[in-house]
Amino acid sequence: ASASAFKRNFASSAKPRMLNGRTLAPTINHNNSAGMKILAVLYKGGDAAKQEPRLLGTVENQLGIREWLESQGHEYIVTDDKEGPNSVFQRELKDAEVLITTPFHPGYLTRDLIAKAPNLKLCVTAGVGSDHIDLNAAVERKIQVLEVTGSNVTSVAEHVVMSILLLVRNFVPAHEMIERGDWQVSEVARNAYDLEGKVIGTLGAGRIGYRVLERLQPFNPKELLYYDYNPLPEEAAKKVGARRVEDLKEFVSQLDVLTVNAPLHEGTRNLINADLLKHFKKGAWLVNTARGAICNAEDVAAALKSGQLNGYAGDVWNVQPAPKEHPWRYMKNTLGGGNGMVPHYSGTTLDAQARYAAGTKQILENYFQGKPQEPANIIVGLGKYETKSYGKR
Ligand code: NAD
How close is the Cα of 382 to the center of ligand 1, in Å? 22
Q: What Å distances lie between residue 185 and 92, 193, 294, CA to CA?
A: 56, 14, 36
Nearest to 104 by CA among 43, 175, 44: 43
Does ligand 1 lie within 6 Å of residue 232's CB atom? Answer: no
Collapsing DSSP to helix, strand or coil, 24 comes out as coil
Nearest to 293 by CA among 76, 103, 90: 103
181: Cβ contacts below 8 Å, ≥ 6 apart:
none
What average pLDDT is seen over the chain?
Answer: 92
**What pLDDT, in 10s, does the model give residues 72-87?**
999 999 999 999 999 9
HSE toward the beta carbon, residue 354, CA cutoff 13 A: 6
Please give the pLDDT value at position 23.
33
Verify whether residue 230 is a known catalytic residue: no
Q: What residues does 295 pair with on adjacent strands?
A: 272
Let me know how many helices (H) and strands (E) the chain has, helices first: 16, 15
> What is the value of ipTM here, to two decimals?
0.99
Verify whether residue 366 is a known catalytic residue: no
**Angle at 47 (CA atoms; ends 43, 49), nearest 5 degrees:** 50
pTM for the structure as a whole: 0.91
Q: Which atom of ligand 1 is nearest to the CA of 345?
A: 40
Does ligand 1 lie within 6 Å of residue 341's CB atom? Answer: no
How close is the Cα of 378 to the center of ligand 1, in Å? 14
Verify whether residue 344 is a known catalytic residue: yes
Please give the pLDDT value at position 16.
36
For every residue of 333-357, which 3-state class applies, written as one string? CCCCCCEEECCCCCCCCHHHHHHHH
Please give the pLDDT value at position 15.
37
How close is the Cα of 225 to the center of ligand 1, in Å? 16
Residues of the chain with pLDDT under 70: 1-33
Q: What residues does 341 pair with on adjacent strands?
A: 314
201: Cβ contacts below 8 Å, ≥ 6 apart:
224, 225, 226, 227, 245, 251, 252, 254, 255, 257, 258, 259
